[in-house]
Amino acid sequence: MKRFLLLLLGYVVSPFIYAQVSSVIFENGDALINYPQLTILENRGVVKQMPPVDAQKLLAEDKQRYENHEKSQVPFRFGYGFDVNYTLEEGIWDYRDDIKIWNLRISSPGAYSINLIFEQMHLSKDAILYIFNPNGTMVYGPVTAAQNIDHENNELFLTDLVAGDEIVVQLNEPLDAKEQSYLKISRVVHAYVDIFSSQSRGAAPCQKDVACFSNYSNESDAIVFILLSNGYEQCSGCLLNNTAQDFRPFLLTAFHCIDTNKDGSLSSSEITNAQNALFKYYLHGEVQMFFIIPIQLTTS
C-alpha cells in the first residue's frame, strides 16, 4: 500500500506566507536593469569554481536506482552537491555611498542551474541578500532578516535553483548597521538535469501536465515543488484546505519524500530534514519560496 504524508504547517497565514522569497525570470536578460541594486564586481573577485561533474555517470546511477525501486517510490535526484565552507571572508567587498556590497561568484561548468544551502545565515536589520546569474535572466530575492535561521537548532536555509552554470551571491548592508551580517554556505548543488525544461523527466509535451488543462488553473495553483533538505532531490505535493474552509494550512506529499531510510517510520532526524525543506509555488506569475515548520505529521 502506498503511504502518504500529511503535514500541518506552521507560520502560514492566508493569503500571505511567512518568510517567502521570490524568484523572477527575465527571458530578455534584463534583470540588472530591473534591479539596479544588483552589482557585478568585475575582475576583482575570485570565482569559486566547482570540480567537474560526470553527468552521464550520475544519470546511469539514477536509472539503476529507479529500476531497483518503483520510480514513484524514491525522490527524484537532479543534482550533485559539493560540500563547501564559504563565508563573508570569501568574495570581495565594495563601498558605495551609504552601503557596502559583497559579491561572491560561484561557477559550476555545465550546470543547468545552481542552488545553495546556508548552514548559517544572520542578516542585520536592512541588509538584503540576492542571488542572480550574470546573464541577467533570473533573480532570487530579496532575502532579509525575516529569513534568519537558528543554526544552533540545526536549521538550514535552502535557496531556489538559479538557472545557468554561474551565479553571483550579493549582500547589501548599510554602513551604519548596528550589527554585522554573517553567513556560511555549506553546499553548492550542480544540476545535471534541467529542471526548467518540460522534458527534464522524459515526459512527452503536455503529458498529464496540469498546465495543459486550463479548466484546472485554480487547482494547479495549489501544486508545490519540494526541494529536500539535501538540496539535490525533489518531490511534489499540494496545498489542501479542509471542510471547515478555515484555511488551516495542510500540505499533502508522498511518505517516501520524508522517510529517506525506507524503514516505514519517521525518525527525529527525518522530521528535522522535513523542517529544513524548501517549498515553492507560483503566485501571480512569480515563483514564491516559503519555509515551514511541520508541527504535526500523519500518515495514511
∠ CA(102), CA(163), CA(273), 5° rounding?
Answer: 80
CATH code, domain with 45:
2.60.120.290
Which grid cell is 33?
536593469
- Omega prior to 15 cis, within 30 of 0: yes
| Domain end residue (candidates: 191, 206, 231) | 191
- Determine the Cα–Cα distance for residues 103 and 41; give it in Å rounded to an integer: 7
Determine the pLDDT at residue 281.
Answer: 73
Mean pLDDT over 71-85 rounds to 88
- Determine the Cα–Cα distance for residues 127 and 137; give it in Å rounded to an integer: 23
Determine the pLDDT at residue 169.
Answer: 97
Are residues 265 and 166 both part of a single domain? Answer: no
Range of lowest pLDDT (14-23, 100-109, 186-195):
14-23
Are residues 201 and 286 both part of a single domain? Answer: yes
pLDDT grade for 44, boundaries at 50, 70 and 90: low
Instruction: Share the mean pLDDT of the chain.
Output: 82
Q: Which residue has the higher pLDDT, 43 or 104?
A: 104
| Domain end residue (candidates: 158, 176, 191) | 191
Which grid cell is 146?
525575516
Q: Which residue has the higher pLDDT, 250 or 104?
A: 104
Mean pLDDT over 213-230 rounds to 81
In the chain, % of residues over pLDDT 70: 80
Mean pLDDT over 262-282 rounds to 82
Determine the pLDDT at residue 43.
Answer: 62
Which grid cell is 260?
529517506
- Determine the Cα–Cα distance for residues 169 and 130; give it in Å rounded to an integer: 6
